[in-house]
Each structure stands twice: as C-alpha cells, then as structure tokens.
Structure 1
Amino acid sequence: LGRRTYDLWSGFWPRAPSSPMGDALNAATKYVVTHHPDSLEWGPFEGVGPDLVEGVRRIKSQDGPGLVLSGSSTLTSTLLEHGLADEVLLAVYPVLLGTGKRFFAEGTPPRTFELVSTQAFPSGIIFTTYKVAGPLKAA
C-alpha cells in the first residue's frame, strides 16, 4: 500500500463491521511504502523503504501469498517500470467524473498487456484482468 491508501484504510477497516473483505484485510500483512514506519498502527504491517524496488523484490522472493496493490498510481507506475507487476486488474465504473488524477504517472514506459478475463455486473461495472506482456515495441 502507498502511505495515503494505508492511512485511509486504517481509519476504516479496523472498525468496520465484520465482512469477508474487511476480515481478510485486517488479518493480512500490509506492506506499506513509507519513510515513517514507526507511525504505523494497523497491523500486521511491514514498512517498505527507503528503496521501494529492492523492498518489493525481497518480499516477492519470499514464500507466501501474492502481493496486491490497490490504488496508488505512483506505485503502480514504479512497479510496472521495474517489471515487478505480474497482472493489472482494472475496474471500470459507468461514471464520468470529468476531472481527476491520471491513472499512470507521466513518463510511465509504454507496456503491452494480454487479456486474462473480464467480468461484467448488472450495475454496469466491469472487472478486467490483464497479464503484463512486456514493453511496447516500436513498429
């Protein structure tokens, strides 16, 4: 998690009513990219830093469940740039906000993806899963 996502979630999930997602998040180790791991309270947690790339490589080399990154366009761009993201899951909502933050940071290297699955819901929300295929090759 990026620090901002961690701060948002730590204000909600520990006190939320029991649910499959909430219970899983509360029990899971949260790997938090931060310069101040001493200020983390919602555990179990581990601070990742100051070298994000080396920290994620170390965590991925360990036995355990796969890592999931939620939100954080900055972290997503960094992980893609360094080949540390295996899949990208996107949720498309039938809402046009008209403004907002870019999903990928300016300068993110072009990448190609292979569609793994899609799931459409009656609400109009569509979940897509893509496998990271590699850099975009010039034609």
Structure 2
Amino acid sequence: MRKVVVYELVSLDGVAEEPDDFITDWDDAMDAHLAAVIASQDAVILGRRSYDEWAGFWPGSEIEPFATFINAVPKHVVTSAPLDRAWGNATAVTGDPVEFVRDLKARSGGDIGLHASISVAQTLLAAGLVDELRLVIAPRVAGPGRRLLEGMPPIGLALIESEISPTGHLLLDYRVVR
C-alpha cells in the first residue's frame, strides 16, 4: 500500500500558514531534505487555496528541485468548485477527500505527497490516513496563524530521522504510529 507523506514548513510555535513569513533562510540541507521527500512521490494532494497560489507561481519558477517535480506530478486538488486556473496534471477532487485518499492509497504507485495544505493535512491525519510527517521547523516564533496540529486528536509519532540545517532549521521525519 502507498504511503501518504505530509511535508510542511512550520514555525517553532507550530504555525504553518504563510511560511514565507518565518522561513527566511533556505540552505543546501533543506534542499536535500526536500529532494529526498519528493524523490519517492508520484502524486500530490493539494487543498484549493494552496493550488490557487501555487498555480500562479510554480509553472514559471526555476526553483529546483521542486519546480520540475510539482509541475510534472499528478496533482489532486480537494475543492468544492471547478478549478479556475489550468495547471498541468491537475484534477479536482470534489467528493469526500478521505474516501478519495483511501482509494488512491490502495492503487499501485509511489508515495502520495501532501504539501502546504493545512486543512487537508488535518483531515487526513484525523482519519488515520497519514503515514509520515516530514517537517521543516523554522527557528522563529510566528505568533498568529493557523497551526498544523491545532485541534488534532492524540497521534503517536516515531522519529525516523532528524537533522539541524546550517541555518538552524530542524528537519524532522516522523512515522505515524498506529
């Protein structure tokens, strides 16, 4: 069965919204961490807000390794309305996202990435469908903003790997314990 891997940029106080506000430095270790995460992914799930923001940015971006990956990979967008912007390999998921992801996990293929989409990540975590959390924790307190794990039920995690990047970011990979 395929794995669902959530990759999120968060502040030290858990804020995941507007990561450009608290991720102010990016380094080679962070690039390598991201490259390792996406290397095994052949599908991505996005929420509607993330899709709308990213569809306006990534198609013209040269920020690698993510630009090549995200522009080519099949993108499943959780939304209640048709997609306004065209972006290669994107399809709308208009039904129950939990059932859609259960079905997607049962198909053959690589890992399924979930990037940036806080509410979708929370929904799939609460439903027990997330297998791994890959976090980049910034050495900054963001203050206000939506937090990735706010309101979540108890979830056990086992550390897979950890690293401190040269700019002080924590690169943490966890397996969800069932």
| TM-score tier after normalising by the smaller chain length | 0.7 to 0.9
For normalisation by structure 1, the TM-score amounts to 0.88
Q: 1:7 is matched with which residue?
A: 52
Q: With CA pairs under 8 Å and 6+ residues apart, which has the higher RCO, 1 or 2? A: 2
1:114 equivalent to 2:158? Answer: yes
- CA RMSD between the two structures: 1.5
**Equivalents in 2 of 1:78, 1:84: separation in Å?**
9
How many pairs are equivalent?
133
Q: 1:70 is matched with which residue?
A: 115
**Equivalents in 2 of 1:89, 1:124: separation in Å?**
16
Helix, strand or coil at the partner of 1:69: strand
Greater C-alpha Rg? 1
1:104 Cα deviation after fit: 2.3
Matches within 5 A, 1:1-139: 1-17=46-62, 19-106=64-151, 108-134=152-178
Q: Is the 8 A contact 1:32 1:47 kept in 2?
A: yes
Q: Which runs of 4+ in 1 moved over 3 A?
A: none
Matched letter for residue 116 of structure 1: I
Helix, strand or coil at the partner of 2:157: strand
**Equivalents in 2 of 1:55, 1:40: separation in Å?**
22
1:20 Cα deviation after fit: 2.3
Matched letter for residue 32 of structure 1: V
Compared with structure 1, are the counterparts of its residues 114 and 25 closer, same or farther at alpha carbon in structure 2 (3 Å cutoff)? same
1:15 Cα deviation after fit: 0.9
Q: Is the 8 A contact 2:55 2:85 kept in 1?
A: no
1:46 Cα deviation after fit: 2.0
Matched letter for residue 80 of structure 1: L
**CA offset digits 1:58-100 (Å, max 9, x no partner):** 1111122211111222111211121110001111111122222
The alignment-based identity, stated in percent, is 38
1:105 Cα deviation after fit: 4.0
**Equivalents in 1 of 2:64, 2:76: separation in Å?**
21
Q: Is the 8 A contact 1:115 1:131 kept in 2?
A: yes
Q: Is the 8 A contact 2:55 2:87 kept in 1?
A: yes
Structure 1 unaligned residues grouped into runs of 5+: 135-139
Matched letter for residue 64 of structure 1: G
Helix, strand or coil at the partner of 2:177: strand
1:56 Cα deviation after fit: 0.8
